Structure 1
């Protein structure tokens, strides 16, 4: 019977003594403990288009496209995958919580053993955690995930972002942004404190370094206000003052959200941002009212303080927020991607039972393809789903029984 316990314990003891470059060798040394001859780590690139191998000197692998391979199917479907013509090889997703990092390839004569699935999940969970824990101590993971040179503006933004996906038993939040290597003006942040999930989505004016510098200030001011315990109105006011003080000729649109997980009560300030959409039962019910405040940095022109809009969510409701780079993307005929196309795409994907992170990955790929691979503006989308404990997230499975 295959058991990953010894391999996991050995890796947890050995990995902290090395850098991220050492992980491929360490993982392969653990292979015999799960009756494997080879174990290879593949990480998703920034665009989530390819799975790129993190190799030691003794192995040879090529990057694999996510769209057309079994490895990609494991990544997108969050399932263990086997090939009929290669029964000794399995692919298992690398997950940290619900954040998809890549896949683990395991080559083993015991791949067909039913016990291998559980062992593979256990090992993959350990490896994913080790990648996250060791990543800050070197650049190998960052270099590997970059298929193109990253501009300094994008370096600033990506260095400030939280994980793209976060979930608890009663909510899931997932985001996506493009262009990965030249993004500058879009940024987001979130935090869960007790019963309240706080989310901020921002779109700064301008492009390049100026936009990313403002984005850095905006998200830092947002975090500072939140950590000081300010309410939504005072948070918006604080960010507005910082923008006006440090960048008097610039501004940022924003969507500031608070969700009470126990009740489903949603509070929103829309500071000159495109309106978020309420999705229910596979349909767009309505656009949330807005703007309820001027863009951040222009608050001194307002005649009243920012207003908070409240909504009582139903179990299973989703909030879809986005920046104008999504809807304003233009095809070869000059037609905008538009709100109707955005809602239709998301609803069809969710109705097809795609996991929410996969829905967002496909959305941004569709927007990029619509604009022939070259976006004129940053494009960011965010999807927040609320389900109380008695109505668990349908696409999140109990890790103790199914591997996630």
Structure 2
């Protein structure tokens, strides 16, 4: 990739998913988090001089976003996507097939009435799917305004034929197959009935990308998308919907496609997976080779997740006279450690943000349970979520037992949850 001709043929794509614009906008502590992260994503796209941005669904947190969310998103797209810089990618496929929902079905950077310097392509997710009598998505509004290129939408779910967007830059050709969110059980059934078709481009010179927004983790029979139903000719899958950041491409089946899961750019639940550092990907494609460079999001509010097992009754450390007070003191010590960890993560930030703190408290006896909301209010000036810092679980060790196959002995532990955490 050294000479000028090669450089002119390298596709550079900024990939991100699950921006959830508008999440927490009614909560003063976190109201701007989703917009701040999205602006940083667009800034990274401009800084790295990418050819396009590819979004994997859930741009908005609500299918009918507030006027403020829609206005803020519009302002950011206008600020970073409009300009005189020429777009270097050619659009080769039939635009009317991909943008049939528009009165003027044309990719925005070829619209003579618009000055687009940074094209944004997006599918919809389960949070911003079309709704109402006319099945309108917030993405339809942005697309009609010429600010994004909304594709991969399917109204007839009796059968699906995904025709790829064909793009060319120099000697590199990319085919992007877009599949906006469809309920997983229905989509799996359509695949099993062979009613989902992804026609492959005739020659082998195309780098094939599938962008979809579905369950990846096994959440029950037919309630997730198995890897083996993805066509083998797909080179790379950009997987939206799952919020854990696993951006490094990996093959999950032999001869199967590489899968990259950028994860969310804002935490929408206080689950352990959301506490990992947030990243987006800089995808570089040259002919049939590619690499993804992980770009950390530095404006994201720090989220520290940890757990603590309280003292066991009957041990020397257990305070029989004041178990609740002992539990509170132990938890306070742990919270201070977590806040310090968040402070270290923001050492280079000129305007540090109050962190999100989530501590899983595992207790042996109900005499150790305390009012978590009341304790949380002591940290109102130091954390962003004082009202829900703690999750309590009953710690019940099981007797040591042998596995039936006799291979090894295990010491299992069961947790009876008082509150349930949802992993997206």
TM-score by length of 2: 0.26
TM-score by length of 1: 0.27
The structure with the largest helix share of the pair is 1
Q: Which has the larger radius of gyration?
A: 2
